[in-house]
Amino acid sequence: MAAIDTSKPHSARFWNYFVGGKDHYEVDRQIGDEIKSIFPGLVDVALSSRRFLGRAVRTLVAEHGIRQFLDIGTGLPTADNTHEVAQRAAPESRIVYVDNDPLVLTHARALLVGSPEGATAYVDANLYEPEKVLAEAARTLDFGQPVALMLLNVLGHVADYQQARSLVSRLVAELPSGSCLVISDSTATSEGMIAASEAYNASGAVPYHVRGVEEIAGFFDGLELLEPGVVQVTRWRPEPGDAEGAGLEVDAYAGVALTP
């Protein structure tokens, strides 16, 4: 396993800092504080995106019978990770996490322990290796049954939009009928978010590219979007009593779609 580089910020640690986790280093906190001074709204993006994960997983388990999840770009464990949400509703659910950051993998293996009825596994790979991801995931998941492909706040790391679309298409093409695609990403929908992205990319971290809403929607071309379509993460099926559904505007959009 590669050594952990603490000389540069890392997106998983940076995001962990923003959502109130404890797995980050001084370099991550420094760029986090700098970006919060530029654009405080990024904290809302981080927290709202995390809540979207929970709502999306609960919806897929309850309304579409999904019991298998392939979560690429896992990030560092916090509260209500994919397997926790899924197995709370359906203990037999099977989840495969994919990441190639050594800190993420170390923490995942130690902390992301699933229910005895289901299964939780971890693959050391990244989005640029779809064939490896699928082959390794097949050791845990049954690709004869529907799978939810989770790509949350990871596609922005792919600089070329067409390459990002190609990677998504290659993964979706291998999913059986009745599967689902879940995507959320930060968007270039305010000057503050654009400035925050530029500051982050200048820090030496692996760049993250914010895109337009129409580009996020393009990832779902040819698929059947669930209502309400591609919308701000706070607008995707807010739940009763959820404070974030009370009109919070954030620069992150998401959607969930069924595959053919």
Q: Is the peptide bond before 91 cis (omega within 30 degrees of 0)?
A: no
Task: Check whether 246 has a pLDDT greater than 70.
Answer: no
In the structure, what pLDDT confidence band is assigned to residue 243 with cuts at 50, 70 and 90?
low
**Over the stretch 86-97, which tens digit does the pLDDT of each residue have?**
999 999 999 999
**What's the CA gap between 91 and 114, in Å, rounded?**
9
CA distances, 209 to each of 59, 122, 167, 231 (Å): 28, 26, 16, 19
**Side-chain half-sphere CA neighbours of 218 within 13 A:** 13
**Over the stretch 60-87, which tens digit does the pLDDT of each residue have?**
999 999 999 999 987 666 668 899 999 9
CB 31 within 8 A of CB 124: no
φ/ψ of 119, rounded to 5, equals -150, 145
The rounded percent of the chain whose pLDDT value lies above 90 is: 57
- What pLDDT is recorded for position 78? 66
Q: Give the rounded distance of the alpha carbon of 206 from its chain centre.
A: 16
Q: What is the mean pLDDT of the chain?
A: 87
- What pLDDT is recorded for position 1? 47
Tokens standing for 244?
Answer: 């974030």
**What's the CA gap between 161 and 159, in Å, rounded?**
6
